[in-house]
């Protein structure tokens, strides 16, 4: 891999978009590499992912404008599909994904962050969907995920005006869960990932699936999705060990992902 790095640390793995000279901007090669890296994650061992960018200035500054500038209508739509397919794979990935946003998260950078389950950022982070200033719309899910996360009114204001916001405002409107100094960002991301990884993996995966699928249907259907995934946890080793440990007033010896 030239632009996407992968490092596994026990039950946590870190994916780093590494195109630092271009502020980690997304082009076709980066998207293809990210897709391949996700396909290669060992889900028997890895229980939580962290996604971040290389360097101290940028998480992902956006899609590569140089690559996009000469696209035809058909090519533009096809490029949007490439990004959307990868981001949707990330969003629906079986295990939780934490975005550790270390600087600029603009355009495609904001969109890939929104495809993650949890977003935390450094205090130098900047978010935005500035596409209208380039004569285009957000193309990797920004018009769909931003309203679902921060509300329709705030999303429309950000997208229509193409206005960037800083970390403190991103926290205020609920776009991120927490803000840290740059030095504290990755240690806190890893701490959160380890906390998630220590819990029963089948249960965590089922929680993610229930939330993601439930948000796309009405409440009556959503409750049925939850019931099935709730029931799916039973008869597993992890369920039996977790409940036995509670009843016996002891700590869980180990969740074995089975």
Q: Which two tokens stand for residue 148?
A: 């679902």
> Considering only the top CATH level, what class is 199-247?
mainly alpha
Mean pLDDT confidence for 159-167: 97
Q: Hunting for tokens 């180990």 — which residue is that?
A: 254
Contact of 37 with 89, CB cutoff 8 Å: no
Tell me, what's the pLDDT at 221?
98
Alpha-carbon distance 187 to 93, whole Å? Answer: 23
Alpha-carbon distance 60 to 105, whole Å? Answer: 5
pLDDT for residue 1 is more than 90: no
pLDDT for residue 196 is more than 90: yes
The helix (run of H) or strand (run of E) holding residue 187 is helix 182-198
pLDDT in tens, 234-253: 999 999 999 999 999 999 98
**What residue segments make up the domains of the chain, in order of their start?**
4-197, 199-247
pLDDT for residue 64 is more than 90: no
pLDDT for residue 115 is more than 90: yes
Give 205's pLDDT tier (boundaries 50, 70, 90): very high
| Percentage of the chain exceeding pLDDT 90 | 97
Q: What is the pTM of this model?
A: 0.96
Q: Which two tokens stand for residue 252?
A: 């869980």
Mean pLDDT confidence for 50-67: 94
Alpha-carbon distance 167 to 1, whole Å? Answer: 31
Pairing of strands 58-60, 104-106: parallel
> Which residues belong to the active site?
111, 131
Give 165's pLDDT tier (boundaries 50, 70, 90): very high
pLDDT for residue 44 is more than 90: yes
Q: What CATH topology corresponds to 4-197? A: 2-enoyl-CoA Hydratase; Chain A, domain 1 (3.90.226)
pLDDT for residue 84 is more than 90: yes
């Amino acid at each position: 891999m030239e632009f996407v790095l992968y490092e596994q640390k026990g039950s946590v793995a870190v994916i780093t978009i590494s195109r630092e000279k271009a502020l980690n901007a997304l082009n076709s090669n980066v998207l293809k590499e990210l897709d391949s890296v996700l396909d290669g994650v060992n889900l028997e061992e890895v229980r939580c992912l962290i996604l971040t960018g290389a360097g101290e200035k940028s998480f992902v500054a956006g899609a590569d404008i140089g690559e996009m500038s000469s696209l035809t209508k058909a090519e533009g739509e096809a490029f949007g599909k490439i990004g959307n397919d990868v981001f949707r794979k990330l969003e629906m990935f079986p295990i939780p994904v934490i975005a550790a946003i270390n600087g600029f998260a603009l355009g495609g950078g904001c969109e890939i962050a929104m495809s993650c389950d949890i977003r935390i950022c450094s205090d130098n982070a900047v978010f935005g969907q500035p596409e209208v200033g380039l004569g285009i719309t957000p193309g990797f899910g920004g018009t769909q995920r931003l309203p679902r996360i921060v509300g329709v009114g705030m999303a429309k204001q950000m997208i229509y005006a193409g206005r960037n916001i800083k970390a403190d405002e991103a926290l205020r409107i609920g776009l991120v869960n927490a803000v840290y100094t740059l030095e504290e960002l990755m240690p806190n991301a890893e701490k959160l990932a380890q906390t998630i990884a220590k819990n029963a993996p089948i249960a965590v995966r089922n929680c993610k699936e229930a939330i993601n699928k439930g948000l796309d249907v009405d409440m009556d259907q959503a409750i049925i999705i939850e019931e099935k995934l709730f029931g799916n946890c039973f008869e597993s080793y992890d369920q039996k060990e977790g409940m036995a440990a509670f009843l016996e007033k002891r700590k869980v010896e180990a969740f074995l992902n089975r």
